[in-house]
Amino acid sequence: MKLLIFGSKCHNYSQNKYLSTIITGRTVMTKKSDTPIISVMHPVCCGLDVHKNIISACLITLNPLGSPQYEVREFPTFTDSLFLLRDWLTDNNCPTVAMESTSVYWRPVHNILEGHLDVVLVNARHIKNVPGRKTDTEDSRWLANLLRHGLVKGSFIPAKEVRQWRDLTTLRKNYTQTLGDYKRRVHKLFETANIKISSVVTDLFGVTGRNLISLLCDEDADLSLENIEKCAKGSLGSKSAELHRSIQGFFEDHHRFQLKLLMDTIEATERNIKSVTARLARLMRPHQEVLDRLDEVYGINTVAGQSVLSHIGFTLEEFGNEAAFCSWAGLCPGNNESAGKRKSGRSPVRNHPFKTVMVEIAWSAIKKRDSYYKDKYYRIKYRRGAKKAVVAVAHSIAKGIYHIIKYGESFEDLGKGYLSGKNQEKKINRLKKQAAQLGYDLVASA
């Protein structure tokens, strides 16, 4: 229980700086009544309510008497108008600006203000205005007042080159998803044409599968057993007869036309993925040493390492410790407690791109035999389920990544028996008590 005193004076202790009150065994220190509860952190600042076509800006300055005065202006989102916004702010000696992270609409503004003013990018969920006062000018005024008193917390904005890496990894991810969509369309097309290649080969787009697809795309090709044997590679050479059966269907010019278009898109998408990966490798070459150390972590290969660096950068100076880093990534439980009761432990961070990357890495890491991550996953899965277990593993990997990038450490697997031996003494004492209850003495082996 805490005691808060507002607007009252205690005459017996008027000379003391603090008032100490004992309540249920806890000492609560309360400042004098004339001390301001909320102090001004930024006397001159600006709040921006950003939309697609217009920006509402509220600038707070000080008049000759030292009182705050407000000036609200609206600017279009064209680049020349954004330069006018920046000139207006710099002319009034405004050092810091706050704006909501609204979709991608904040990025044109950030491009203009970066390097000239301190930009605080705020989560819209943290700055909801009072109901009934929802206008663009009121939103900018509300945001400026919150910034003035230091009541907003800025989001993590990495350096420009890291943001460019992130754009490329996002593009590669979209291409990869598109590639998977078109490959599934080829599977559906073959089923409609009674082509059952996927029932024989494990990967339809492997060497043998692509050879058979090329054979189907050729109008003049003969689907004979001899040609099928030429297409089969590796262990599939012994299944030529079965492959010949699988390719006999109702494949007509109608299906061939669709297959050619789908394969053109697949091949173009694969070339784009290779191009993006090569450009990322070239841009990240100065940080190859960090990528090599990340590659030692179970579940992280070259592509995953590039994705990790593109989201968090190569310094992590913005995060004071590993707990803050994991909390930002949404890999920690949330706090939702009222009246001494825990309501939910769900993390408030829902769709975080870096969290998605870490969970994908964790799914790969738990496949490593006799590793710490696999042992931890199955221990938690038994009690909490697979999804919570894999997020816990992702949390452990994220802490390792933090130390690898920030402190230059190298990865070292704790091993399968780490968790078993962590509380070994407690386990032995518990077993001794259980043995004593059954009338036995537990003796250590020689």
Number of Cβ within a 10 Å radius of residue 244:
19
Q: Which CATH superfamily is domain 45-148 in?
A: Ribonuclease H-like superfamily/Ribonuclease H (3.30.420.10)
Q: How far apart are the first and last CA of the chain?
A: 55
Distance in angstroms (rounded) separating the CA atoms of residues 85 and 112: 9
What pLDDT is attached to residue 36? 55
Cα distances from 439 to residues 430, 435, 443, in angstroms, run 14, 6, 13
Q: Encoding tokens for residue 131? A: 């109901």
Collect all residues with Cβ–Cβ distance below 8 Å to 86 and sequence separation of at least 6.
Answer: 112, 113, 116, 117
Residue ranges, the chain, pLDDT below 50: 1-35
Number of Cβ within a 10 Å radius of residue 59:
21
Q: Could you tell me if 144 and 59 are in contact, meaning their C-beta atoms sit under 8 angstroms apart?
A: yes
Strand-pair category, 26-31 with 18-23: antiparallel
Strand-pair category, 45-50 with 96-100: parallel
pTM for the whole structure? 0.80
Q: Could you tell me if 349 and 355 are in contact, meaning their C-beta atoms sit under 8 angstroms apart?
A: yes
DSSP states along 338-389: ETTEE-----S--S-HHHHHHHHHHHHHTTSTT-HHHHHHHHHHHHH-HHHH
What pLDDT is attached to residue 129? 65
What pLDDT is attached to residue 18? 36
State whether the Cα torsion 123-129-132-135 is positive or negative.
negative
Q: What is the pLDDT of residues 95-111, one digit of tens each?
A: 999 988 878 888 999 99
**DSSP summary character for residue 348:** S
Q: What is the pLDDT of residues 240-278, one digit of tens each?
A: 889 988 888 888 999 999 999 999 999 999 999 999 999
Distance in angstroms (rounded) separating the CA atoms of residues 50 and 215: 55
Distance in angstroms (rounded) separating the CA atoms of residues 42 and 149: 7
β-bridge mates for residue 99, sequence order: 48, 121
